[in-house]
A and B are shown apart, each in its own frame.
Chain A
Amino acid sequence: MVELSVLQTRVASVLKESQFRDNRRIDVSSGDVFGLLGVLKQEFGFDMLIDITAVDCLEYPGAVDRFMVVYQLLNTESGERLTVRTWLNLPDPTLPSACSLWRGANWLEREVYDMFGIGFTDHPDLRRILMPEEFVEYPLRKDYPLKGRGERHNFPVITRSES
Chain B
Amino acid sequence: MPLSPVDPDAVDSSEREYVWTLNFGPQHPATHTTLRLVLTLDGERVLNAVPHIGYLHSGFEKLGEHLDFNQYVTIVDRMNYVSPLANEIAWHHAVEKLLNIELTPRCRYLRTILAELMRLHDHLLNVGTTALDLGGFTAFLYAFQQREKIYDIVETASGQRFHTSYTRVGGVLFDVNNEWVDKVRTFIQDLPRTHAEIHRLLTKNRIFVERTKGIGYLSREDAINFSATGPVARASGVARDLRKDEPYLAYADLDFDMVCSRGGDCYARYLVRMQEILESLKILKQAVENIPAGPVNIDVVSDIVLPAKPAVYRSIEGLIQHFEVLMPNRGYDVPLEQVYAATESPNGELGFYLAGNGETRAYRARTRPPSYIHFGMFPHMIRGHQLGDVVAVLGSINIIAAELDR
Question: Which B residues are in CB contact (< 8 Å) with A56?
Answer: 364
Q: Which residues from chain A sit less than 8 Å from chain B, CB to CB?
A: 20-23, 47-51, 53, 55-56, 59-62, 70, 72, 76, 79, 81, 83, 102-104, 106-108, 111, 115, 128-132, 139-140, 146
Indicate which residue in B66, B97, B225, B351 contacts A72 across the interface (CB closer than 8 Å).
B351
Q: Which residues from chain B sit less than 8 Å from chain A, CB to CB?
A: 53-54, 57, 59, 61-63, 66, 97-98, 100, 222, 224-229, 238, 240, 245-246, 335-340, 342, 349, 351, 353, 355, 357-358, 363-364, 366, 368, 372-373, 375-377, 380, 405-406
* Contact (Cβ within 8 A) A55 B355: yes
* Contact (Cβ within 8 A) A50 B349: yes
Least distance between B322 CB and chain A CB atoms (Å): 28
* Contact (Cβ within 8 A) B227 A104: yes
- Given the interface pairs A51-B368, A103-B226, A106-B376, the reply to whether A20 lies near B61 with Cβ below 8 Å is no
- Given the interface pairs A53-B366, A55-B355, the reply to whether A104 lies near B225 with Cβ below 8 Å is yes
**Contacts between the two chains (Cβ within 8 Å), count:** 107
* Contact (Cβ within 8 A) B373 A108: yes
Question: Which B residues are in CB contact (< 8 Å) with A129?
Answer: 53-54
Least distance between B383 CB and chain A CB atoms (Å): 13
Question: Which B residues are in CB contact (< 8 Å) with A83?
Answer: 340
Question: Which B residues are in CB contact (< 8 Å) with A81?
Answer: 340
Question: Which A residues are in CB contact (< 8 Å) with B366?
Answer: 51, 53, 55
Per the bound structure, the CA–CA distance linking A130 and B375 in Å amounts to: 13
Q: List 27 A-B contacts (CB under 8 A).
A: A20-B335, A47-B225, A48-B227, A49-B227, A50-B229, A51-B227, A59-B357, A61-B336, A62-B336, A70-B338, A72-B368, A76-B224, A79-B240, A79-B246, A81-B340, A83-B340, A102-B225, A102-B226, A102-B227, A103-B380, A107-B376, A108-B227, A111-B372, A128-B54, A129-B53, A130-B406, A132-B54
Question: Which A residues are in CB contact (< 8 Å) with B229?
Answer: 50
Per the bound structure, the CA–CA distance linking A76 and B372 in Å amounts to: 20
- Given the interface pairs A53-B366, A107-B373, the reply to whether A60 lies near B357 with Cβ below 8 Å is yes
